[in-house]
Amino acid sequence: MKKAILIIDHGSRRAEANEMLDCVAQLVQAMAGDAAIVRHAHMELAEPSIDAGFAACVAAGATEVVAFPYMLSPGKHSTADIPRLVSEAAEAHPQVRWSVTPAFGVHEKLAELILLRAGVESRSVGANRCWHPSEVPGTCGDACRCVSGAGTVGTGGAEGGILRSAERGAGRDL
């Protein structure tokens, strides 16, 4: 099985913002090497569209596409719009398995980047825990670092269409 990663952002009227996602895809491709095909797409306002990006993954030989919403929080676009658009794009490729990951959410690598950009030295902490003040796992949604089984928002392919989170027991409506 050849895996592809489709990195998806919102899309912008600003060309530089759209070009940045192409740079991110090139960086991820360099880091992945031959282990994955990496392409990018925009949800709206710019090309390539999600449909075109999915098709580009398949044209490059992908038999599985993992869509990654390049968004910080688990909002409407990353939890509903992108999974719906990926599902629609996948309909033209029923032989291809696909999934949609959560948004970036809470992750120690993002905290490290914030500190780096602010010129503050990072220290090691137990990152795999709930960071919400209530300490209730999942409070910050699907992208919460401490949610057990956090992973795909929806999956599909030859075995069927998108699986809503309720079907997986994740307790979130898309």
Residue 30 belongs to a domain: yes
C-alpha to C-alpha distance for 144 and 64, rounded to whole angstroms: 25
List pLDDT tens digits, range 108-155: 889 999 999 999 999 988 767 788 888 888 787 777 777 644 455 455
Residue 136 lies in a domain: no
Q: Is residue 97 part of a domain?
A: yes
pTM above 0.85, yes or no: no
Q: Which two tokens stand for residue 156?
A: 């599909």
Give a yes or no: residue 53 inside a domain: yes
What is the tally of structural domains in the chain? 1
**Is residue 165 very low, low, confident or very high in pLDDT (cuts 50, 70, 90)?**
very low
Asked if 103 and 71 touch (Cβ cutoff 8 Å), the reply is yes
Burial (CB < 10 A; 0-12, 13-18, 19+), residue 143, is: buried
The average pLDDT across 71-83 equals 93
Q: How many CA atoms lie within 13 A of 73 on its CB side?
A: 4
Whether 34 maps to a domain, the answer reads: yes
Residue 120: inside a domain, yes or no? no
User: Which residue(s) pair with 160 in the sheet?
Assistant: 157
What is the domain extent for residue 52? 3-104+151-168
Question: Which CA distances in Å does 117 have to 20, 111, 113?
Answer: 18, 10, 6
- 141 in any annotated domain: no
Segment 10-64, tens digit of pLDDT: 999 999 999 999 999 999 999 999 999 999 999 999 999 999 999 999 999 999 9
CATH (domain of 20):
3.40.50.1400
Domain assignment of residue 17, yes or no: yes
